[in-house]
Amino acid sequence: MNKTKTRLEVKRFQDIPNVGKAIEKSFITLGFTQPVELAGKDPYQLYEDLCTVTHTRVDPCVMDIFISAVRYMEGEAPKKWWEYTAERKKNTRSN
């Protein structure tokens, strides 16, 4: 089975590695209805949008989970969310 087909078969946000109820709720709050919609999105912008919509500064680790979810839906092999922390810190001021 090819990776694209596998990702298209992901029907629930919680089927994405690292995504639980709280992150699923965040994706829904941002207007997503299907996991496949995450492919091609900018996870850093998604984080900023979530902060704007919720009127709060969300824990920066959520950005790591957003990166992992987007990358997974784009076909990358699953990784633990904290494996993206160094990248996030390099690309943002959020520590």
Q: What is the pTM of this model?
A: 0.90
- Segment 27-49, tens digit of pLDDT: 999 999 999 999 999 999 999 99
∠ CA 64-14-58, nearest 5°, is: 35
Predicted local distance difference test score (pLDDT) of residue 60: 95
| Distance from C-alpha of 67 to C-alpha of 15, rounded to nearest angstrom | 15
Q: 65-95: string of b/e by CB count within 10 Å (b at 16+)?
A: bbbbbbbbbeeeeeeebeebbeebeeeeebe
| Distance from C-alpha of 83 to C-alpha of 95, rounded to nearest angstrom | 14
- Segment 37-95, tens digit of pLDDT: 999 999 999 999 999 999 999 999 999 999 999 999 999 999 999 999 999 999 887 55
Each domain of the chain, given as residue ranges in start order, spans: 3-91
